[in-house]
Chains A and B, each alone.
Chain A
């Protein structure tokens, strides 16, 4: 079955760190662009970071220097290392796949999400 399963969310204090994981099944993470998208509770979707199939990584401005996206081909997984967290990072974090070829501009598969709460 083709699916994405996120894990690693939880409660963390301001200034703390958290590492999110996305376990991929049904396809190889090596051959697709992969992304993280977040959604503050009750609000809209916000793209966070992407990792291209060519190995390039890119981030929204508000997380640059704090978040690091990575892939591990052997475990067929995607990760998001989040440092210096603040209340504004509180959200459900979704793993998403970019489509094939030119369609890699769009997300064609989503996970169920993992909740990150930054609070003292």
Chain B
């Protein structure tokens, strides 16, 4: 089954950009993944699906400041022009045989 690895934390300044990384294990390096945002005390929110070719498709209402990309087994979420409301936990997610799999999540702090 796939394994997704994320750094536990990241930080960036208000108005700056940040790139979060989700790494697939070598046996599943071509898989697509989804990014989900979870703001404090809220349920998760789907942001986008990122494919191995670097393309992505976003959920309804997701701002243009959010974009996705890929390189090898890594899937990225880039957030531009950071706002205080972007301070949240970000999870990547994929699938296996009859299961769904999450990464451990990255806590993003906006300074």
Question: A106 contacts B101, CB within 8 Å?
Answer: no
Q: Tell me if A72 counts as interface (CB < 8 A to partner B).
A: no
Question: A44 contacts B93, CB within 8 Å?
Answer: no
Q: For B98, what are the chain A residues with a Cβ–Cβ distance below 8 Å?
A: 50, 58
Interface class of chain A by DSSP: strand
Question: B45 contacts A110, CB within 8 Å?
Answer: yes
Rounded to whole Å, the gap between the CB of A113 and the closest CB of chain B is 5
Question: B102 contacts A105, CB within 8 Å?
Answer: no
Q: Tell me if A45 counts as interface (CB < 8 A to partner B).
A: yes
Beyond A47-B100, A106-B95, whether A94 also contacts B49 by CB under 8 A is no
Question: B99 contacts A58, CB within 8 Å?
Answer: yes
Q: Which of B43, B46, B89, B99 contacts A106 (CB 8 A)?
A: B46
Q: Which residues 76-110 of A sit at the B interface, judged by CB distance below 8 A?
A: 94, 96, 99, 103, 105-110
Question: B49 contacts A60, CB within 8 Å?
Answer: no
Q: Tell me if B91 counts as interface (CB < 8 A to partner A).
A: yes
Q: Which of A45, A111, A112 contacts B91 (CB 8 A)?
A: A45
Q: How far is the CA of A69 from the CA of B43 in the complex (A)?
A: 20
Question: A105 contacts B36, CB within 8 Å?
Answer: no
Q: Tell me if B59 counts as interface (CB < 8 A to partner A).
A: yes
Q: How far is the CA of A112 from the CA of B94 in the complex (A)?
A: 21
**C-beta contact mask, B83-103 vs A, less than 8 Å → 1, else 0?**
000000101011100111111
Rounded to whole Å, the gap between the CB of B74 and the closest CB of chain A is 18
Rounded to whole Å, the gap between the CB of A106 and the closest CB of chain B is 4
Question: A111 contacts B34, CB within 8 Å?
Answer: no
Question: A110 contacts B34, CB within 8 Å?
Answer: no
- With A44-B103, A106-B95 known, 20 other A-B pairs at CB within 8 A are A37-B44, A45-B44, A45-B91, A45-B93, A47-B100, A47-B101, A99-B49, A105-B32, A105-B95, A105-B100, A106-B34, A106-B49, A106-B94, A107-B34, A107-B93, A109-B46, A110-B36, A110-B43, A110-B44, A112-B42
| A-to-B contact residues, CB < 8 Å | 35, 37, 44-47, 50, 58, 60, 94, 96, 99, 103, 105-113
